[in-house]
Amino acid sequence: MFSSFCSALSVLFIPNSSSLPLDHIHQLPQWFEEELEDDLKWSFAVNRVLHATTSEFQDIVLLDTKRFGKALLLDGKLQSAEKDEFIYHESLVHPALLLHHNPKTVFIMGGGEGSTARETLKHKSIEKVVMCDIDRDVVNFCRAHLKENQDAFQDEKLHIIFDDAKAGLEGRAEKFDVIIGDLSDPHEGGPCNHLYTKSFYEDVIKPKLSDNGIFVTQAGPAGILSHKVFSSIYNTVKHVFKYVIAYTAHVPSYADSCGWVLASDHPIRLDKEDLNNKIHERVRGELRYLDGAFIVSSTVINKTIRTLMMNETHVFTEEDARFAHGRGLVGNA
């Protein structure tokens, strides 16, 4: 989801480089380096490249990193890392499902890695999950190589479609209790920009939510110096839904906080005891990161960012988008 540039690997992934023997690749990268901003880089030591392939849309790489375990990269952009992906995926999925009175059907925009489906399927009430990712090869790659998501990929409640998320939603007659945006950040020329616009929320998301339905989207970096996209998505969603909550969490492998925006036209009740009871009753197994108290506290945002967010006037449209740093390659994860 974070835009980045992998200098060590990009050398290897010029279009026709996928024919390089993997042995050759194994010896090369020592450090994975990601450009977070024009003036900021983040790098971590790599043991080896575990798997690498190129799809119609993007380069797909699984690295074994020293600090963060296995790390999935799309076009050199870190998508998630074994050691801390639970922070991002629990935060994306569980608040929305717990705040819904009885979620049975879920639509995931993106999410090809399978972790969002995995977290969703922990809810006993779930009958059907539709995951819509544009890249079949990412899904097959993750199905083959991410052991932790193998059960989710085999679950008969999971229906995978390969399409742009807008077309995927528009093409279905049914409505969903919860719609989840597990998309890459909006960036210049990026493939997901239309999935963050006011008109998309109004004309596509809202009509596809069932009564009391809840929408949640990842909303990019949420740090003091990096919250511009987050603030804009928050303000945009506020123009479309009656009740909107923003919340954040620090994700070590992103070297920043991540933000989410959750919305409904039905009042949202945030109560720590109530959430704890629901986690106990509805979720199979233990959550590692979230409990009632932390879900509530993650919605409390420090004054610096809160003031900027409350004062935000930018509305995200196709003509007037706001971008995170990035190269703008095709990919919907």
Ligand X SMILES: *[C@@H]1O[C@H](CO)[C@@H](O)[C@H](O)[C@H]1NC(C)=O
For ligand X, the closer of residues 130 and 255 by Cβ is: 255
User: How many angstroms separate the Cα of 15 from the Cα of each of 1, 26, 36, 52, 207?
Assistant: 22, 18, 23, 13, 40
When asked if residue 36 is in the footprint of ligand X (CB under 6 A), the reply is no
Nearest distance from C-beta of residue 300 to ligand X, angstroms: 8
Question: How many binding residues for ligand X (CB under 6 A)?
Answer: 12
Tell me the residue number closest to ligand X, measured at CB: 257
Longest dimension (CA), the chain: 56
How far is residue 15 CA from its own chain's centroid? 26
Candidates 92-100, 149-157, 166-174, 303-311; binding stretch for ligand X (CB under 6 A): 303-311
Count the Cβ atoms, other than its own, within 10 Å of residue 104. 14
* Nearest partner of 181 among 133, 217, 232, 130, judged by Cα: 217
Q: How far apart are the two ends of the chain, measured CA to CA in Å?
A: 7
Q: Could you tell me whether strands 209-221 and 256-264 are parallel, antiparallel, or unpaired per DSSP bridges?
A: antiparallel
12, 261, 301, 324: which one contacts ligand X (CB under 6 A)? 301
224, 239, 297, 320: which one contacts ligand X (CB under 6 A)? 224
Question: Interface residues for ligand X in 230-289 (CB under 6 A)?
Answer: 248, 257
Nearest distance from C-beta of residue 305 to ligand X, angstroms: 4
The secondary structure of residue 148, as a DSSP letter, is G
Tell me which amino acid residue 190 is.
G
Candidates 178-186, 218-226, 233-241, 263-271; binding stretch for ligand X (CB under 6 A): 218-226
Using a 10 angstrom Cβ sphere, with 0-12 exposed, 13-18 middle and 19 or more buried, the burial of residue 70 is buried
For ligand X, the closer of residues 190 and 221 by Cβ is: 221
27, 154, 311, 313: which one contacts ligand X (CB under 6 A)? 311
Candidates 181-189, 217-225, 261-269, 287-295; binding stretch for ligand X (CB under 6 A): 217-225
Nearest distance from C-beta of residue 226 to ligand X, angstroms: 8
For ligand X, the closer of residues 115 and 231 by Cβ is: 231
Nearest distance from C-beta of residue 257 to ligand X, angstroms: 3
287, 296, 308, 330: which one contacts ligand X (CB under 6 A)? 308
When asked if residue 96 is in the footprint of ligand X (CB under 6 A), the reply is no
When asked if residue 313 is in the footprint of ligand X (CB under 6 A), the reply is no
When asked if residue 302 is in the footprint of ligand X (CB under 6 A), the reply is yes
Nearest distance from C-beta of residue 296 to ligand X, angstroms: 14
Count the Cβ atoms, other than its own, within 10 Å of residue 175. 14
161, 223, 314, 327: which one contacts ligand X (CB under 6 A)? 223
- Active-site residue identified among 182, 185, 271, 274: 182
Asked if 154 contacts 160 with a C-beta cutoff of 8 angstroms, the reply is no
Asked if 138 contacts 55 with a C-beta cutoff of 8 angstroms, the reply is yes
Count the Cβ atoms, other than its own, within 10 Å of residue 123. 23
* Nearest partner of 5 among 50, 40, 57, judged by Cα: 40
Is 75 noted as a catalytic residue in this protein?
no
How far is residue 29 CA from its own chain's centroid? 26
Place of tokens 């992103």: 254
Residues that bind ligand X (CB under 6 A): 222-224, 248, 257, 301-302, 304-305, 307-308, 311
Which active-site residues does the annotation give? Answer: 182
